[in-house]
Structure 1
Amino acid sequence: MSLKYEVKTSNKLGRYLVAAKDLRAGERILSDQPFVLGPNSDTSLVCFNCYLPLISKFLVCKNCGLAPICPGDGCPEHSAKWHNQHECDFFRNLKLNKGTSPMTMVQNVGSLLVLRALLKQNNNPLEWKIFLELESHLDRRRESSVWEYYDNTVKFIQSLGLLENGQNQDLVQQICAAIDVNSFEVRGPPIPAIGCAEVLRGVYLQAALLAHDCVANTHMSINDNNVLVCHASTDIKKGEPIYYNYTDPLKGTVVRQQHLMIGKYFQCTCSRCSDITEMDTFMSSAICPSCKTGYMSKAGESWICRSCKKESEHSVIGHKVQCCSDKLEVINKKDEKELEEYIKYVSLVLAPNHYLLLDAKQRLAGVLRDIINREPRPTKKVMRRKIELCKELLPVLETLSPGICRIKAITLYELHATIVQLAKKLFDAREITASVFVDELLSAEIHLKLALEMLVIEPGNSPEGELCAKALEEYRALKLTIAKVLDSIHAEGKVYEITEISEQVTLHPEID
């Protein structure tokens, strides 16, 4: 297989990846094993071998006598094993020569990822060298609270005798920084029958070189073997940068910039961040109090209406937006009535696609989904409202996350499911004809096929992969239902013409 990317260097992006050939949407660009993977710095206790949460009790590794591991029958059979022989030998020497106790390891589980990265310098010097070349922004962290936060990790590493041959505490701080700046969130193994799991962090040396853009052209997934797979989410021309979005696309520019500055130490200047309308989505805009129809966007220290060009001080509009944000923080986000009241209230102040409104609408759609699935006879009103919410979210996602997008795929699936449920309810009650019923089912089929086209590249045993398997079964059932209704129409001597709309989307297998 020919290499899909090459590494370039620039003053703005540092080292970054560009397409070495034309890439199609859905094409796999790279797959990457973790250089190091482990718990967060503020984690609760996890098994050092498989990263399962250790809730009430644990054993210690019988070989080294230090590493906390799963009690009873031990780690699940098919889980990854991270407490390797090299580490076990190191821990055994610590216990024999320094008298280190298991409780020392328990108390410093938040430093385990840093420790395992440092141990790589001896057992994998090539990858260790590449890791040290990753961006760390060490100088910007030096006098900050983050530097002090990792002081305990430095002391822990020093106590193990790992900083020798002229090495100093800056090396530990550099490791901490490289992990903070370059790691990806990884779903840890869930406790059987309970489901709770720790969120882990993994450093992937190839993927760490992906440049950021708030409108990305890649889709990232991490499978149960902790392998990161990067696909093109849109077509990418040869020589174009390969971008990944480090932020939440459904947050406004100010929130995204804060996230990038705090966690990644840079200010984004992408086309979306440079546009006060956020690509005409107005995700951070408010309704103009002067003309009542235009949207005001923040430009510098003032707000400007796109329609009437009136300006307003930040202290006025900014205060209104902040009130909307504060209110969202305190409402019960699992209560249908409270969410509806919030949406009604802030819709008088915020642009329709403001990220606070979209947040509330997403949450409301989830609440309505649970009601529909829970109630034996959900009302038509509830189903219509859920359909409306999904349709409001999709155009924004299409603009800000074009092509393959996990949130978009789930929204399309939810939209299809509710259209089918509502159409069946109306048809059974004889409120719509068989022809209208087929129209609705064909509409749902389009949404489902689009969702499948995106979900098909997800890891099979991830939640999205499981949704893909479920969606495939529902697709087959939907095709059978459409065929049966058409047969009944034809049996009555009527004719139904299938429009081309149901054939507009075709499924493509993953391109390797």
Structure 2
Amino acid sequence: MSLKYEVKSNEKLGRYLVAAKDLKPGERILSDQPFVLGPNSDTSLVCFNCYLPLISKFLVCKNCAVAPICPGEGCTDQFAKWHSQQECNFFRNLKLNKGTNPMTLVQNVGSLLVLRAILKRDFNHQEWQLFMELETHLDRRRESDVWDFYDNTVKFIQSLGLLENGQNKDLVQKICAAIDVNSFEVRGPPIPAIGCAEVLRGLYLRAALLAHDCIANTHVSINDRNELVCHASCDIKRGDPIYYNYTDPLKGTSLRQQHLMIGKYFKCTCARCSDITELGTYMSSAICPQCKTGYISKNASVWICNSCGKETEPSVIEHKIQCCVEKLEVINKKDEKDLEEYIRNVLLVLAPNHYLLLDAKQRLAGVLRDTINREPRPTKKLMRRKIELCREILPVLEVLSPGICRTKAITLYELHATTVQLAKKMFDAREISGSTFVDELLIAEKHLKRSLEMLVIEPGNSPEGELCAKALEEYRALKLTLAKVIDGIHAQGKTYESESVSENVPLHPEVD
């Protein structure tokens, strides 16, 4: 099979990938096994063999008598095994020749990923060379606190005898840098029946070459075998760069830039970052305190209104935004009333699609979902509010994450589910006709179908993959319901005719 990408290089991006052919949404571009995978530098203790959290006790490997592993019956067969024979032999020699004990590794579990990367030198020279060619921004890191942060890792590696024969200890700092700059977050294995898991980091040599853009054209997922799979999220033309978003698309520009500068050491100049309106979403904008109708956005050090053109003193608006940030931090984010009050108050200050409001709306939609699913007879008011929230979030996602998007797929699923629930409740109460009921079910079907088109590429064991399986069952059930209702209409001697219910107007907007 011919490759879907080519490796290019320039001064701005370094080595990066471009499409070798025209790519369609959902088309697989590459799959990649981790060069190395392990816990974060600030992790709690995990099993060195399967990465399950070790909460209260552990055993040590019988062969090397050093590596901490799962107690009881040991690691489950369903999880990958990472304590290799080569590593076991290395630890065994340390035990015999240096008296290394298990507590040394327990105390340095945050350095395990670096250790395992170094051990790759002797067993996979080709991959090691590719790893050493990755971007590190080592000179920038040398001037920062992160250099001192990894000093303990350097000392730990030195204590194991891995930097003997005059090797430069900067090699360890370079490895730490390559991991920090290029790794992906990976879900660790959850403890059965508890769900507790550590977030791991995986270094994927090919995926590390994906360039960044705040409007990505790829969708990345990592399956239960820790394999990273990259799909096109929208059309990509031959020769176009293949982009992945290193940041959270639902954060404002200042936060995204801060994340990239601290973790990746560059300033993004993509179309979204270069536009003070963030592509017309106004995700970092506030309501103009002077004209009360326009939105003020930050242009360099100046806050200017898109309507009246007047400037606002930076300290005034930045103080208001900081108050909104602090308020969101302290409210009960699982309480419907607290979230509603926050949204109501902040809408008087910030633009309706501000990232703080979107955060609160997403949380509120989740609270309402749980309430609707828990209550035996949830009210129509709750359902309409959840539908309203989903409809407010989706247009922003369409702009900032065009094409396939995990958050968009989940939001569409939630919109479909509540649309069906509300329509059924009203039809059963004879508040709407059979034709209107069918109209609403068809709208829900459209949302569900779009959601499935995105979820189908998710790994089956992931929460999104499990949602896909559930959505497929609900899609079949929805088709059967539609057929049954239409048959019922025909049985009454009538024909189904769409009553053209607007998708943007909730059914019977009166309050319960």
What TM-score results when the alignment is normalised by the length of structure 2? Answer: 0.97
Alignment-mate amino acid for residue 332 of structure 1: N
Q: Which residue of 1 aligns with 2:95?
A: 95
Q: Report the secondary structure of 1:479's partner residue.
A: helix
Using the alignment, how far apart are the partners of 1:428 and 1:364 within structure 2? Answer: 27
Using the alignment, how far apart are the partners of 2:204 and 2:497 within structure 1? Answer: 52
Q: Which residue of 2 aligns with 1:486?
A: 486
2:197 is the counterpart of 1:197:
yes
What count of residue pairs does the alignment treat as equivalent?
A: 501
Q: Report the secondary structure of 1:323's partner residue.
A: helix
Q: Which residue of 2 aligns with 1:269?
A: 269
Q: Which residue of 2 aligns with 1:226?
A: 226
Using the alignment, how far apart are the partners of 1:8 and 1:164 within structure 2? Answer: 36
Alignment-mate amino acid for residue 471 of structure 1: A
Deviation readout 1:428-480 (Å, 9 max, x if unpaired): 11111111111111000000000000000001111100100000000000000
Alignment-mate amino acid for residue 8 of structure 1: K
Q: Report the secondary structure of 1:230's partner residue.
A: strand
Using the alignment, how far apart are the partners of 2:212 and 2:187 within structure 1? Answer: 22
| Structure 1 residue 498: Cα displacement | 6.5
Using the alignment, how far apart are the partners of 1:499 and 1:268 within structure 2? Answer: 48
| Structure 1 residue 143: Cα displacement | 2.7
Alignment-mate amino acid for residue 298 of structure 2: K
Q: Is the 8 A contact 1:224 1:461 kept in 2?
A: yes
Q: Which residue of 2 aligns with 1:20?
A: 20
Using the alignment, how far apart are the partners of 2:446 and 2:314 within structure 1? Answer: 44
Q: Which residue of 1 aligns with 2:113?
A: 113
Using the alignment, how far apart are the partners of 1:458 and 1:301 within structure 2? Answer: 42
Using the alignment, how far apart are the partners of 2:237 and 2:316 within structure 1? Answer: 45
Q: Is the 8 A contact 1:283 1:353 kept in 2?
A: yes
Using the alignment, how far apart are the partners of 2:213 and 2:359 within structure 1? Answer: 21
Q: Which residue of 1 aligns with 2:506?
A: none
Q: Which residue of 2 aligns with 1:316?
A: 316
Deviation readout 1:17-38 (Å, 9 max, x if unpaired): 0000000011000000000000
Deviation readout 1:218-269 (Å, 9 max, x if unpaired): 0000000000000000000000000000000000000000000000000000
Query: Is the alpha carbon distance of 1:306 and 1:486 closer, same or farther for their aligned partners in structure 2, counting shifts above 3 Å?
Result: same
Identity of aligned residues (%): 82
| Structure 1 residue 167: Cα displacement | 1.3
| Structure 1 residue 320: Cα displacement | 1.1
Q: Is the 8 A contact 1:301 1:313 kept in 2?
A: no
Using the alignment, how far apart are the partners of 1:498 and 1:302 within structure 2? Answer: 52
Q: Which residue of 2 aligns with 1:279?
A: 279
Query: Is the alpha carbon distance of 1:498 and 1:4 closer, same or farther for their aligned partners in structure 2, counting shifts above 3 Å?
Result: farther
Q: Report the secondary structure of 1:387's partner residue.
A: helix
Deviates more, 1:245-254 or 1:320-329: 320-329
**Structure 2: stretches of 5+ with no match in the other structure:** 502-512
2:131 is the counterpart of 1:131:
yes
Deviation readout 1:193-213 (Å, 9 max, x if unpaired): 111100000000000000000
Q: Which residue of 1 aligns with 2:331?
A: 331
Matches within 5 A, 1:282-361: 282-361=282-361
Alignment-mate amino acid for residue 233 of structure 1: S
Deviation readout 1:155-187 (Å, 9 max, x if unpaired): 100000000232122000111111000000000
Q: Is the 8 A contact 2:285 2:297 kept in 1?
A: yes
Q: Which residue of 2 aligns with 1:104?
A: 104
Deviates more, 1:308-317 or 1:258-267: 308-317
2:449 is the counterpart of 1:449:
yes
Q: Report the secondary structure of 1:186's partner residue.
A: strand
Using the alignment, how far apart are the partners of 1:290 and 1:439 within structure 2? Answer: 44
| Structure 1 residue 289: Cα displacement | 1.2
Q: Which residue of 2 aligns with 1:507?
A: none
Q: Is the 8 A contact 2:38 2:201 kept in 1?
A: yes
2:42 is the counterpart of 1:54:
no
Using the alignment, how far apart are the partners of 2:399 and 2:160 within structure 1? Answer: 51
Deviates more, 1:152-161 or 1:166-175: 166-175
Deviation readout 1:318-370 (Å, 9 max, x if unpaired): 11111111111111111110000000000000001000000000000011011
Using the alignment, how far apart are the partners of 2:169 and 2:315 within structure 1? Answer: 45
Q: Is the 8 A contact 1:32 1:206 kept in 2?
A: yes
| Structure 1 residue 500: Cα displacement | 12
Q: Report the secondary structure of 2:333's partner residue.
A: coil
Q: Which residue of 2 aligns with 1:161?
A: 161
Q: Report the secondary structure of 2:185's partner residue.
A: strand
What's the Cα RMSD here? 1.1
Using the alignment, how far apart are the partners of 1:193 and 1:99 within structure 2? Answer: 38
Using the alignment, how far apart are the partners of 1:205 and 1:302 within structure 2? Answer: 42
